[in-house]
Amino acid sequence: MPNLKETIEEKHDAVREDFEKGGKFEKLYPLFEAQDTFFLTPPDVSEGKTHVRDAVDLKRVMFTVVIALLPCLIWGIFNAGSQYYAYSGIETNAVAKMFRGMLIVMPIVMTSYIVGGLWEVGFAIVRKHEINEGFLVTGLLFPLTLPPTISLWQVAIGISFGVVVGKEVFGGTGFNILNPALTARAYLFFAHAKDMTGDVWAKAKDGATGATPLGMGAAMGGQGEDVVQGLAHEGFTFGSMLFGLEPGSIGETSLIACALGAAILIVSGVGSWRIMAGGLAGLFAAGMLMNIMPTQGSDELGKMVQLTTWTQIPFQYHLVMGSFAFGIVFMATDPVSAAQTNTGKWIYGALIGVVTVLVRVTNPGFPEGVMLAILFMNVMAPMIDHYVVKAHIRKRTETLRNFSYAKG
Amino acid sequence: MSSEILIKQGLDLPMEGAPGDSIREVRPQSTISVFPSEYSKLKFKLQVSEGDTVSRGGALAIRKDLPDFALRSPVAGIIKSIVLGERRSLQEIVIEPNGSEDSERFDVYTVEGLLGLSRDEVLNGLIRSGLLALIRQRPFNRIADPSLKPKSIFVNGMKSAPFRPDPAVLVRGKEAELQAGLNALTRLSDGPVHLNLAKDQAPGPLTSAKNVQSNYFEGPHPAGNTSTHIHHLDPILPGDTVWTLRISDVLRIGEFLLNGVYPQEQITMLAGSGVKEEMRGYVRSISGTPLSEIFDGALEEGEQRIIRGDALSGEAVTLESGLFLYDQGFVVLNEDRERELLGWYAPTTEIYSAHKVVPSNWIKDKLFKFTTSSRGSHRALVLTGIYDKYVPLNIMVDPLSRACIAKDAEEAIALGILETEPEDFALCTFVCPSKTDFGAMVAETLEQIEQEGF
């Protein structure tokens, strides 16, 4: 394609005037800018005193996150197809599962991108700023946190809530307090709870429960059963949950896919390894602490009673069950809503791990805790940063003072 | 006493166009100029008018706030024109050399004799000659205030930024001038004079300098920035003053004190891929020579940006300007408005990136052709925690930049802004995917603090 570049450049230059100030489509400039800079790098030269600039721009950063999400998306598609056939009771091959999965998942992703994209463009036009590439990520993250059986109209209102209330009311990208994709999910979680949790595949076939391992485990634990054995009886072993061919939200079931994404984010330097490592440490520590809780206790009359065995789930199971891996890799690392200082990132990540386990194990209402943990820590992140910076300033002043004493 | 300091944070840009170490002569063809506009914060009172004859070292203008301080002519000649700018501020005094040997005489000293002078004697010489302008003062990096006594003096003998002149080239054959300049500096402060050199500096006049504390820095840029030196040797506390110079400034002061005539020679580096390869190197000429003569035949074809200073923290200039007293080098880069198809995600190996997400980052030992392209458009600041890797000071860049955006001077001071200069954040600007200008942000806040006082 020797002339493709010139053709595009010519076509764009021919209409550029119409979109610039004073042109007839002046208001639609953000749309034009988005398309123009999508195909061709901008012709801008550096301003100010730093005359050379790095090859990386925000488009590349955001697109790297999209690439890191691909393993989860592809596995999610396959898993959705598998679950569909499993609960329909039809034996079939992998290609058919993949194809069926596409039919289930792609409309959800498309709805999220189209509806969310419209809001994004709308706000860009009204506010007269460029369309922000961050939406490439939000638009894909959100559908991956949904059960495959969700209705498209729910996807549409979910992403609308996420973009408008989660991001734009705060002033747009870079100013939001909560992760927009997670805000969207939380909205659906509370407003449409019965479609979001538990028996997601039940409608596919009568009699099938379709419960996620996490939901099942919580139920068993509440009845004092041995959770690991109970899960294994249902077909959920540590190994099977590692692969994630199981009911759950589209993108979160496979630890391996999440780990691939984490590797891409860490190697490229786009996602914070501190948050991920802190999260793992917090999750394991809290999981172990739960393990040493007693399973029997005495009631007020001194009679021994059976307590929940849900606390006894081995700590490593917390990593493979539910959405923790997906959440800590893709949601918690959103740099805008996370802690911004490096020390703060460790604390922020670790507390997400701890709160996740606390909600999962000690709260009988919600089987999964990672979404609430991340949203809660999103709110807390500025406070963590505040104290980290305060400690830094105190140490800094001390070092400086000692320096002058040492010199006499 | 000497110390060795290892710098871990920072980045050496693998930039094509490093200068060779040869020095060529450029004699001024027509006129030379003195630029009062170089000192943007000082006000001058003109002492000459068009048509007057001046001798070398003759006073052209005096400072309104310090009348002893005169801007002096580097050559004997006739005042050809005086250019005034906005509000009749003095911009440029153009002198046509008349070939006369007429020269103003100042006191002459020996290298050793300088050690016996008092602070006032040295200062008076520097003020009268106008060479005090070569001594900078921190915080705020302004021209030294002679009424303040610095707690220590820092001489920068390094070249880590792309590109700054190699101090070893500048001092070649100038041992006496170097030592004389350093000896004079020792009279100005009760504290030490720090001479800061690269750890791999080959033995020579720099490493054998006496009466100073030699410190050796190792590591990537900004290991050669003066802020880095001050931070690790004698950090600035509230109320402190330190003075800073570069090797070229010390040499100029030394030459003046040894000879007693106003120094006219100036060595300037020309570097960058916009300069023809055979012309990359050093130019020996006279202060105030028009840049059109300095760059005569040196520029590559095409639109070029001439940068006064280095590529990370310099000022774009045109050939209409001339050699400022404070100039020691220029970097020329291609003004690059080329658009690339899907360039924002092309896995390029031709455009350098400090981020591992671009394959060009994986290639070791390759030099890249840097241009002035902004490599993307400006966006809201999103990524955090990546900038501290490029600042070898005890400074948290993210909170500091937020304090700057919020115009919270108090917080910025607590976070250490007074220890820094905009140039210390140039690498942050370079690596920022949102194309944020950290240096400009810091400059604005420093300006605010300087005006409001603290």
The CA distance from B63 to B216, in Å, is 38
The CA distance from B380 to B319, in Å, is 35
Does residue B287 lie in a domain region? no
Same domain, B111 and B241: yes
In sequence order, the 6+-apart residues with CB closer than 8 A to the CB of B422 are A49, B313, B439, B440, B442, B443, B446
What is the arithmetic mean of pLDDT over A376-388? Answer: 95
- Interchain proximity A52–B312, CB inside 8 Å: yes
- Interchain proximity B433–A56, CB inside 8 Å: yes
Q: Does A390 reach chain B within 8 Å, measured CB to CB?
A: no
Does residue B383 lie in a domain region? no
Same domain, B157 and B238: yes
Q: Does A338 reach chain B within 8 Å, measured CB to CB?
A: yes
Residue A198 pLDDT exceeds 70: no
SS3 readout for B179-205: HHHHHHHHCCCCCCEEEEEECCCCCCC
CB contacts < 8 Å between A and B, how many? 218
Same domain, B141 and B7: yes
Does residue B418 lie in a domain region? yes
ipTM tops 0.85: yes
Same domain, B181 and B74: no
Same domain, B138 and B199: yes
pLDDT band, very low/low/confident/very high, at A211 (cuts 50, 70, 90): low
pLDDT tens for each residue of A17-41: 888 878 888 878 888 888 888 888 8
Least Cα distance to B294 among B272, B320, B263, B255 occurs for B320
Greater confidence (A302 vs B36) lies with B36
Tell which of B44, B65, B97 closes a domain. Answer: B97
User: Cα distance from B149 to chain A (closest Cα, Å)?
Assistant: 17
Residue B398 pLDDT exceeds 50: yes
Yes or no: say if A65 and A137 are a contact pair by the CB < 8 Å rule. Answer: yes
Say which of A41, A173, A341 has its CB closest to residue B376.
A41
- % residues pLDDT > 70 (chain B): 100
Same domain, B181 and B200: yes
In this structure, the strands spanning B77-84 and B53-54 are antiparallel
What is the arithmetic mean of pLDDT over B163-191? Answer: 95
pLDDT band, very low/low/confident/very high, at B99 (cuts 50, 70, 90): confident
CA-nearest residue of chain B to A59? B344
Does residue B302 lie in a domain region? no
Same domain, B74 and B133: no
Query: Which DSSP string corresponds to A34-84?
Result: HHHHHHB----B--SS-----S--HHHHHHHHHHHHHHHHHHHHHHHHHHH
Return residues 184-223 of B near A (CB < 8 Å). Answer: none
What is the arithmetic mean of pLDDT over B121-145? Answer: 94
Q: Does A190 reach chain B within 8 Å, measured CB to CB?
A: no
What is the arithmetic mean of pLDDT over B229-238? Answer: 91
Residue B85 pLDDT exceeds 80: yes
β-bridge mates for residue B71, sequence order? B61
Least Cα distance to A40 among B435, B370, B378, B346 occurs for B346
- Interchain proximity A51–B440, CB inside 8 Å: no
Return residues 207-266 of A near B (CB < 8 Å). Answer: none
Yes or no: say if A244 and A257 are a contact pair by the CB < 8 Å rule. Answer: yes
CA-nearest residue of chain A to B360? A55
Residue B1 pLDDT exceeds 60: no
| Angle subtended by helix axes A134-144 and A94-127, to nearest 10 | 140
Yes or no: say if A172 and A121 are a contact pair by the CB < 8 Å rule. Answer: no
Q: Does A172 reach chain B within 8 Å, measured CB to CB?
A: yes
Tokens of B67: 């009348």
Tell which of B70, B97, B124 closes a domain. Answer: B97
pLDDT at B94: 96
pLDDT at A220: 75
Cis peptide before B263 (omega within 30 of 0): no
Residue B73 pLDDT exceeds 50: yes
- Interchain proximity B357–A56, CB inside 8 Å: yes
Return residues 158-177 of B near A (CB < 8 Å). Answer: 162
pLDDT band, very low/low/confident/very high, at A207 (cuts 50, 70, 90): very low
Greater confidence (A236 vs B67) lies with B67
Residue A6 pLDDT exceeds 70: yes
Which residues in B175-212 are b (16+ Cβ under 10 Å) and which e? bebbbbbbbbbbbbbebbbbbbbbeebeeebbeebeeb
Same domain, B111 and B255: yes
Q: Does A43 reach chain B within 8 Å, measured CB to CB?
A: yes
Same domain, B131 and B249: yes
- Interchain proximity B355–A268, CB inside 8 Å: yes
The CA distance from A347 to B77, in Å, is 70
Q: Look up the domain containing B407 and give its range.
A: 388-452
The CA distance from A186 to B271, in Å, is 57
β-bridge mates for residue B213, sequence order? B194
SS3 readout for B17-81: CCCCCCEEECCCCCCEEECHHHCCCCCEEECCCCCCEECECCEEEEECCCCCCEEECCCCEEEEE
CA distances from B363 to A396, B116, B121 (A): 38, 55, 56
Same domain, B146 and B37: no
Does residue B278 lie in a domain region? no
pLDDT at A202: 44
Residue A126 pLDDT exceeds 50: yes
What is the arithmetic mean of pLDDT over B156-165? Answer: 94
Q: What sign for the dihedral angle of Cα A212, A216, A219, A224? A: negative
The CA distance from A52 to B16, in Å, is 12
CA-nearest residue of chain A to B237? A400
pLDDT at A303: 78
CA distances from A353 to A357, B62, B340 (A): 7, 68, 43
Same domain, B89 and B7: no
- Interchain proximity A393–B13, CB inside 8 Å: no
Does residue B350 lie in a domain region? no
Yes or no: say if A259 and A273 are a contact pair by the CB < 8 Å rule. Answer: no
What is the arithmetic mean of pLDDT over A72-97? Answer: 89
Does residue B416 lie in a domain region? yes
Least confident of A167-171, A275-279, B381-385: B381-385
Tell which of B259, B280, B301 closes a domain. Answer: B259
In sequence order, the 6+-apart residues with CB closer than 8 A to the CB of B187 are B114, B115, B117, B118, B119, B121, B122
Q: What are phi and psi of A322, to 5 degrees?
A: 70, -165
The total domain count for chain B is 3
- From chain A, the residues in CB contact with B429 under 8 A are 48, 50, 53
Yes or no: say if B282 and B267 are a contact pair by the CB < 8 Å rule. Answer: yes
The DSSP H or E segment spanning A100 is helix A94-127
Q: Does B416 reach chain A within 8 Å, measured CB to CB?
A: yes
The DSSP H or E segment spanning A390 is helix A370-406
Cβ count within 10 A of residue B282: 22
User: Cα distance from A61 to chain B (closest Cα, Å)?
Assistant: 7
In this structure, the strands spanning B265-271 and B152-157 are unpaired
pLDDT at A35: 81
Same domain, B172 and B216: yes
Say which of B339, B358, B381 has its CB closest to residue A56.
B358
